[in-house]
Structure 1
Amino acid sequence: MRGSIRRHPLTWFFALAYGLSWVAWTPYILSHNGIGAWDFTFPGGAVGSQLLGVLPGAYLGPITAALLVTGVLEGRAGLRTWRTRMTKFKVGWRWYLVVVLAVPVALMLGSAALSGRAPELPSAAILVAYLPALLMQMLTTGLAEEPGWREFAMPRMQNRYGALTATAVVGVLWGIWHLPLFLTEWGGGPDVALIEPVEFIATTIAFSAVMTWVFNKSGESMPLVMLLHCGVNNYISTAWSDMFPDLGRSDASHTFLLVSAVAALILLIATRGRLGQPRPALAD
């Protein structure tokens, strides 16, 4: 097995990320929070089911798979490199400012364009809760997913196939990883329309282009990449419905796809498809 992991690290990573998460999500999918085959409901409402039903599988998937494969493939040196990227907070303060502000502004403008009206001012409670909720997202969604997709898979695929191909492949596989959750209340339940997971995968592909550019241009700063990912989740879950009360769940998905596609197109044109990937050094 060790030899196989060393020969095919990416295959093992994706297989473990899928297998560990999907097995851990099975009780959630079978419960009344999903298809209802198991006579059990996860307690705590939407927040409780997220923490008890979704999060365990998320933590057992990408981050665990990345650590396991890195340990076998590169030993302690690889784990030190992993830790260096994960703790690379020292990037220019402008990066943090741009990411923290650009995400809600872009999603707000996208929602306004789709709805045809200006957003309502968020309540004081939303403004107070926004940053603490963002930090919580960093410790849950960001920490569970991005150490696998962007820290482990992206650099290896990018070095082998280039930024554009790596972005597309990681974007597709990242989206497919979520598919079992569409059978639960997380994704709309067992009666969810086929267009929703298809739209979601299109979004993960487009948004991956933005994340690849941030990863490369920030010197592979994982905290910044996680902040970008979690900024979207946090705005939609915390502020979006307060600012656009007439829009529904599907409108949030349409907005995210629109904003991601526009941003990806701009970056692809501006970087000529390189998405910030450093050019190889010329030999002497």
Structure 2
Amino acid sequence: MTSNHTDGSGRAPSNRWQALVQRFPLITFFTLANGISWLVWVPYILSLDGFGVLHFRYPDLLVGNQLTAILPGAYLGPLTAAFTVTAITEGREGLRRWRRRLFQFRAGVAWYAFALLAVPIAVLLGTVAAFGEEAVRVPSIMVLAVYVPMLVLQFFTTGLAEEPGWRDFALSRLQQRHQPMVATFVLGVLWIIWHLPLFLTPWAGPDVTPVTVVRFAIMAMEMSFLITLVYNKGRQSLPLVMLLHCSINNFQSVAFSEFFPGTDDTLLWGPVLGLGTLSVIVIVATKGKLGYTAPVTGPVEVKTRAVA
């Protein structure tokens, strides 16, 4: 007996490695996404910006050196992994479908409003609820002037680097196998793990503690549930998901310290409270379905057929 591995398009593997990828597309994706990103980030971790083993420093560009030190690994990890696995399992037609989804802007206007406003409002309300109205200040008009350009920058950097891989490739396949809550939790854990090496760099701030990592992990998991909702309800629109992702990043990096100028790190638990509350509301309102009502249109998982 022989086993022929094919994907949904009927493509047969030409060698053992292709057969392995077709049989385990998700494992391959997560392995490549983490391995490639971490490998690219190693020089940054060992540079003068990190442990100081390598005697060079990454150059600054616009917002510190994140664009020169972190973005290459972010792009080369999830994006390359999704491209590679899609090419092997679905071929050129699969890559064309994947590219079309990158330009799927059609989604309800309400979901674009949610992506732009829900997270900042949740963060503001959560922080005010936790620390009182006296903690908040009215920011200057310059914040708005910087906020929009930085949102656009985040969209084409963080959003484009991560979401075609994590949500479009991985989430759609996980939801084919598991309930949305389980799929989101699994992806959230793996997404958090992918970020962990960055806590050895200035990306996480000057005074990283275990509490810093735990707080980030909680927020990332909360965001995972919100992103799943928007992905499912917004017709799997990648631009919409990218907008939601960069909305939290942009608000935290550009506006949060202007609204809450206190230097105490405990203020950062406000966003955790706000996003957590919003996530619970979403889960309860959708009865745990997170907007998932039908199988996601996309690649079919690998089948194994025994031939006598």
TM-score tier (shorter): over 0.9
The runs of 5 or more residues in structure 2 that have no matched partner are: 1-16, 296-308
**Identity across matched positions, percent:** 48
Partner of 1:89: 105
Larger fraction in helix: 1
Q: What is the 5 A alignment of 1:127-276? A: 127-188=144-205, 192-249=208-265, 251-252=267-268, 254-276=269-291
State TM-score, norm by structure 1: 0.93
The superposition leaves residues 147-189 of structure 1 with CA deviations (integer Å, 9 ceiling, x where unpaired) of: 1110100000001112111100000000110000001111135
Distance 1:184 1:87 in 2: 33
Q: Quick one: which of 125, 138, 142 aligns to 1:121?
A: 138
Q: How far is the alpha carbon of 1:45 from its aligned partner?
A: 7.4
- SS of equivalent to 1:277: coil
Distance 2:285 2:240 in 1: 21
Distance 1:134 1:148 in 2: 20
**Contact 1:115/1:247 (CA < 8 Å) preserved in 2?**
no
Q: Quick one: which of 41, 44, 47 aligns to 1:28?
A: 44
Partner of 2:35: 19
Distance 2:245 2:39 in 1: 24
Distance 1:277 1:121 in 2: 39
Greater CA drift, 268-277 or 171-180:
268-277
Q: Quick one: which of 90, 95, 100 aligns to 2:116?
A: 100
Rg larger in 1 or in 2?
Answer: 2
**Contact 1:157/1:166 (CA < 8 Å) preserved in 2?**
yes
Distance 1:199 1:130 in 2: 24
- SS of equivalent to 1:99: helix
- SS of equivalent to 1:121: coil
The runs of 5 or more residues in structure 1 that have no matched partner are: none
Count of aligned residue pairs for this structure pair: 279
State TM-score, norm by structure 2: 0.86
**Contact 2:82/2:165 (CA < 8 Å) preserved in 1?**
yes
Q: Does 1 or 2 have the higher relative contact order (CA < 8 Å, sep 6+)?
A: 2
- SS of equivalent to 2:119: helix
Q: How far is the alpha carbon of 1:203 from its aligned partner?
A: 2.1
AA partner of residue 8 (structure 1)? F
**Contact 1:13/1:69 (CA < 8 Å) preserved in 2?**
yes
**Contact 2:185/2:221 (CA < 8 Å) preserved in 1?**
yes
